A and B are shown apart, each in its own frame.
Chain A
Amino acid sequence: MTPSLDQIFVVAKQTILGHVPAAAQPLASAVLSVIPILVIFPLLFAITTVLERKGLGRIQNRYGPNRTGPAGFFQPVADGIKSLTKEDIVPLSADQAVHFLAPVLLAAASFLGYAVLPIGRNMVIMNMNAGVLFFFAVGSVVELAVFMAGWSSRSKYSLLGAMRAIAQMISYEVPLVLASVVVIMQAGSLSTVAIVEKQAGYTGIFPHWFVFTPWGIVGFVLFMIAATAESNRSPFDLPEGESEIIAGYYIEYSGFKFALFFLGEYLGMFATSGMAITLFLGGWSAPFSFLQWIPSYVWFFAKLLALIAGFIWIRGTLPRLRMDQLMALAWEFILPTAILNMLVAGVWRFMPAGIVRWLVCAVILAVPCALLAQGLKKKKKFQVRTYQFAE
């Protein structure tokens, strides 16, 4: 029962392809692979918006949206209707072509990243030889779309927001890539399918996930911090903070284009979470060997939902970082730790297995981290505040 349930989508696709004439089969295969992604992930985006608002509401001791539909779960439908029917206002002095193309490019680049994520066993759209590199290359196109949005609006706030957003995204792109290099070093391949296959074994009941190693834990944490910054999520959402700069680089957008920006940001979040799952959390493999009867895609989406819950939790808990604090964190803490992580991964590979290599690697990572964290603290002493009240 379980192997067939696991491969049910693969078998379904092959039976449909059998009915298509041979000349059109590559095209039909591509279309059949892409349509589920285009359907599922925007649906997940809709569910995430309402879950996030309810989750944030509960963290802040209030109800989230609970009017539309049962317990508020038709809220995304209401939001969608609102976005689609709002008037599309374009500023008169805006650069019309670039203003139109920016959200399109953002959404397209965000969708492209899903092509190399293995969602289940044998369920990946493109098994590229350099899959991880493809993912990061596509992610760097998003920065250009952000700049296009900010510059074409011809408004000071949007330009300022765009420059901040690009500076932030460039700064966190390097730690993102370096945190994934350790996994590539251990797996010996850039192909996402090969990386997941490496983690799909079990010793006893415990899995071989890369997150259960010292360099894996640190790499996973660094990757998630950099992913939060790459998709401009709180606490790194200064470029789009509502109380700071109104809406940053998408101030001048309304209606459906604004919804496309929102969609692009959330899809980017899902894609980087999916990549974190593939690199560190074992992709579609089950956490314990006796749980392997649950289909592989269920595990992938369960892990994805857990990471999304983590994102929502962090958004509701931590305050926003200021721009200089954000940059200091990237260049003075995360980048050195990522480079140190690579050294530790090398040490791990060449030491014999056992408790000693755990201790050695943990010490090599923990001591510099503590010292770097000390270095981030400002040494300024503040004066005692005195208050003068009106008499």
Chain B
Amino acid sequence: MTVAFLILAVLTVAGTAAAMGLRNAVHCVLALTVGFAGVAAIYLQLDAQFVGLTQIMVYVGAVAILAVFAIMMTQRPTAEKPATYSSFWLTGSVIAAGVFAVLARAILTSGATTAAPAEPQISVQQIGDSLMHQYVLPLEIMGLLLTAALIGAVVIAMDHREESK
């Protein structure tokens, strides 16, 4: 396990743990951005350049901004701050710890000790080719899904009061 991977792993886990633990919601999303950037760096380390850069562009550049906009629009500045954790936080933490224990045991006893194969020379042209030949149906369905999600999100979040005037 290389030093680079260890540093990135520590950074990612720290960012995501802060994202789930901080009190202020905007701080949570900013820490999450650090976590996303760490995951993108791990993708780049695994020679998946296209996915890593897409991760930065989509998650850091769009999803995080969407989350902070939503937080800003649902904040009530004069109300008292509610508690950070819900009333059954202990159950949730135990469940999450249990899930991690099961997964870790499965990973460590699986004997997946494959050495890293040679670096795959993936060009973006190959990704484009396979998107257009082998994966064209998922691509088209994804376009349909994104259009439906776009229209749906606008309709749901629209202010309907103006129509009833």
Q: How does the 8 Å CB contact mask read for B22-37 relative to A, with 1 for contact and 0 for none? A: 0000110010010000
Partner of A133, one of B30, B57, B64, B122: B57
Given contacts A129-B123, A144-B64, A147-B68, 7 further A-B contacts (CB under 8 A): A98-B30, A130-B124, A136-B57, A137-B53, A143-B61, A163-B72, A189-B123
Is A291 interfacial (CB-CB < 8 Å)? no
Interface residues of A in 165-187 (CB under 8 A from B): 166, 170, 173
Given contacts A129-B123, A144-B64, A189-B124, contact A137 B57 (CB under 8 A): yes
Partner of A140, one of B26, B61, B124: B61
The residues of A with any CB-CB pair to B shorter than 8 Å are 98, 128-130, 133-134, 136-138, 140-141, 143-144, 147-148, 151, 159, 163, 166, 170, 173, 188-190
The smallest C-beta distance from A116 to any residue of chain B, in angstroms, reads: 11
A133 touches B65 (CB 8 A): no
Bound: A29/B68 CA distance, A: 39
For B49, list chain A residues within 8 Å (CB).
128-130
Interface majority SS (helix, strand, loop, mixed), chain A: helix
Is B56 interfacial (CB-CB < 8 Å)? yes
B72 touches A140 (CB 8 A): no
Q: Count of A-B contacts with CB under 8 A?
A: 61
Question: Can you list 16 contacts pairing A with B, beta carbon distance less than 8 Å?
Answer: A129-B122, A130-B49, A130-B50, A133-B53, A133-B57, A140-B57, A140-B60, A140-B62, A147-B65, A148-B30, A151-B68, A163-B69, A170-B65, A188-B125, A189-B123, A190-B124
In the complex, residue of chain B having the shortest beta-carbon distance to the beta carbon of A185? B128
Is B45 interfacial (CB-CB < 8 Å)? no
Is B54 interfacial (CB-CB < 8 Å)? yes
Bound: A205/B137 CA distance, A: 46
For B27, list chain A residues within 8 Å (CB).
98
Q: How does the 8 Å CB contact mask read for B9-42 relative to A, with 1 for contact and 0 for none? A: 0000000000000000011001001000000000
For B125, list chain A residues within 8 Å (CB).
188-189
Given contacts A130-B49, A130-B124, contact A144 B61 (CB under 8 A): yes
Bound: A137/B61 CA distance, A: 7
B53 touches A143 (CB 8 A): no
Partner of B53, one of A130, A147, A159, A166: A130
Nearest 7 pairs of A and B residues by beta carbon:
A140-B61, A137-B56, A137-B57, A133-B53, A137-B53, A130-B49, A190-B124
The smallest C-beta distance from A256 to any residue of chain B, in angstroms, reads: 22
In the complex, residue of chain B having the shortest beta-carbon distance to the beta carbon of A154? B77
The smallest C-beta distance from A82 to any residue of chain B, in angstroms, reads: 31
Bound: A130/B56 CA distance, A: 13
Partner of A151, one of B26, B61, B124: B26
Interface residues of B in 107-148 (CB under 8 A from A): 122-125
The smallest C-beta distance from B132 to any residue of chain A, in angstroms, reads: 13
A134 touches B68 (CB 8 A): no
The smallest C-beta distance from B123 to any residue of chain A, in angstroms, reads: 6
Given contacts A98-B30, A128-B49, A190-B124, contact A151 B72 (CB under 8 A): yes
For A173, list chain B residues within 8 Å (CB).
61
For B65, list chain A residues within 8 Å (CB).
143-144, 147, 166, 170
For B54, list chain A residues within 8 Å (CB).
133, 137
B61 touches A141 (CB 8 A): yes
